[in-house]
Amino acid sequence: MSFQISYVGGGTLDRVKELPYPHFSKFTKPYIKGNKVEVLAENRVFTGVYSLPFPTEFLSVAFACSQYCIGDYWELTIGGEKVCEQIYTKELPESVSMGNSFGIVYPLPENTPITFEFHNRSAQAKTVWYNIKLLRP
Q: What is the DSSP string of 12-80?
A: HHHHHHSPPTTTS-S--EEEEEEEEEEEPSSSSEEEEEE--SS-EEEEEEEEEESS--TT-EEEEEETT
User: How many angstroms from the chain centroid is the CA of residue 13?
Assistant: 33
Band of pLDDT at residue 14, cut at 50, 70 and 90: low
pLDDT of amino acid 121: 98
Q: What is the pLDDT of residue 105?
A: 78
Give me the pLDDT at residue 66, please. 96
51-64 pLDDT tens trace: 999 999 998 899 99
* Residue 21: predicted pLDDT: 63
